[in-house]
Amino acid sequence: MVTKIPLDDFLNAIDERKEYFLKSINFNKKLDLDESETSREILDFKKSVHIYSHLDSDGLTSAAILALALKRANISYQLSVLPQLETKYIEEIKQEIISYNRFIIFSDFGTGQLGYLKRDLETNNYLILDHHQPENLQEQPDIFHVNPYYYNISGESEISAAGVCYLFAKALNPKNIDLSSLAIIGALGDMQNKGEKGTFIGANKSILEDAIKIGKITLERDLAIPRNQPLHIALAYSLPEKLPAISGSEQNAKLFLSSLQIKMENEWKERRTLLNLSTNERKTLLKALINEGGGGKLMTNYFNLSNFDPVSDAKEMSKLLNACGRLGFSSLGITSLMGDKESLLKAIDKNKIFKREISIAIRLAEENIRNYENINTFYHNDINEKIIGTICSILVHSKEELKKKPLIAFADSDDHSLKVSARADRELVKNGLNLGKILREVCQKMDILNPAGGHPPAAGAKIKSMDLKTFIEEVDNAVGEKN
């Protein structure tokens, strides 16, 4: 970006949308910040609110932030989670507004469907809180549309939908600063910790400062491997730098740990993880990894949560939420974020199931990769459409041979349709590739009604099964034209 606009401009825009929201629901009483939660009066409003959000971890944290903010303001609401904001849902929402006098908040989608929403819904009936790149940044943003791109803030790397929803909640009531940790969980779910040593930049950095200031998150430097996996497995498969003596071999990792006299099991024969190591063991391990050729990427920042025991790692919490959403248990994820301990324990169990499903799906995907001139694709009828994006991301980030071209994945959906997920390595994006724009333009060219779009490295669409061959050809050609 050529110029940077201060975050204050974005915050001012959010404050204007807050006033629009309160006016639209006929909210006739100013929020009294000195009023206690127990003595607050029921506020006078004429419309209830219906939150619609996406099913990934950023979408679920967005939904939880909004739900908590509205609950604290005594604004009645209900909440629905969707796999995507398709035209059929927009038609249903249109009827809901007419029949029940509802105000709709869209979080983590809406920007890509802006044309459909403006066509079918009346102003003063909805608000979009999104971070996906708009199609036309030359236009002035509508009063019902909050999007960081209009203020030269990247929704890909500087703020997630959960961050946008957090800033909106904080505008409603500064006491909602305690929701900042949820926004960080959402940003981690969208892999936005791309700053130095795995931390944040831009608006996310300011949100993290809020969370640290009030004690909701603490930063910790540690080895950049999964902290909840058995130690030898984490070293064998997840080191950020390939070390020939260890990487790719569980047996070699075991021998390496034995040579350092680091036990792999505790006294109860339970396998130890990075979190179980003492400070001295950590130092010994780090020194040995450096001696094996490891460099500056070995250490990273972790974001420790203070209020979601037994889940302490914000990144792990984001994975757990993603599992809930993808498996169809979004409510477990949202209620976990809202403080329900029983839901959190159930969500942990769902995450174990999700990991098994992912493992099976990755094998099926790898067996069905097809190579085209400018893209790679895969399709298998046993891969669930709700996890296709996760599989696509894992393959692009873990397979060197799949980093050279975008990976376009397909999964069966309803009504003889296919869900499309596209992912690309960051290096391709740095060289100008924008998958969100490509998928949107191809769908427009093919007169596909369902809106498509996303970010430069990650995008999605929905097409008819009979359009598959043509769609692949068009995307392959479009990517080739960008090279």
| pLDDT at residue number 3 | 44
pLDDT in tens, 335-359: 999 999 999 999 999 999 998 999 9
Q: What is the pLDDT of residues 20-48, one digit of tens each?
A: 999 999 876 555 544 444 334 445 556 89
**pLDDT in the model for residue 240:** 87
Q: State whether 386 and 436 are in the same domain.
A: yes
- Taking a C-beta distance cutoff of 8 angstroms, is the pair 60, 334 a contact? yes
Give the end of a domain, one of 363, 381, 410. 363
Tell me, yes or no, whether 449 and 372 share the same domain: yes
Distance from chain centroid for Cα 215: 23
What is the rounded CA–CA span in Å between residue 483 and residue 374?
A: 9
Length of the chain: 483
Do 80 and 157 belong to one domain? yes
The backbone torsions φ and ψ at residue 167, rounded to the nearest 5 degrees and listed phi first, read -65, -35
Q: What is the pLDDT of residues 377-416, one digit of tens each?
A: 999 999 999 999 999 999 998 888 899 999 999 999 987 8
What pLDDT, on the 0 to 100 scale, is given for residue 40?
Answer: 43
Q: ∠ CA(148), CA(150), CA(155), 5° rounding? A: 30
- Give residue 347's pLDDT: 97
The rounded distance, in Å, linking the Cα atoms of 9 and 82 is 31
Per-residue model confidence (pLDDT) at position 140: 87
Continuous H helices in 368-434: 388-398, 426-430
How far apart CA 374 and CA 396 sit, in angstroms, is 15
Collapsing DSSP to helix, strand or coil, 223 comes out as: strand
| Predicted local confidence at residue 5, as pLDDT | 54
CATH number of the domain encompassing residue 401: 3.10.310.40
Residue 139, judged by CB atoms within 10 A of its CB (0-12, 13-18, 19+), counts as exposed
Q: Domain limits at 106?
A: 7-29+41-190+202-213
Half-sphere exposure at residue 262, Cβ-oriented, CA atoms within 13 angstroms: 26
Whether 256 is in a domain gets the answer yes
297 domain-assigned: yes
Pair 19, 87 in one domain: yes
Three-state SS for 145?
strand
pTM: 0.89
23: exposed, middle or buried (Cβ count in 10 Å: 0-12, 13-18, 19+): exposed
| Residue that is written with structure tokens 């203020």 in the block | 151
Do 53 and 170 have their domain in common? Answer: yes
Cα gap 347→46, rounded to integer Å: 36
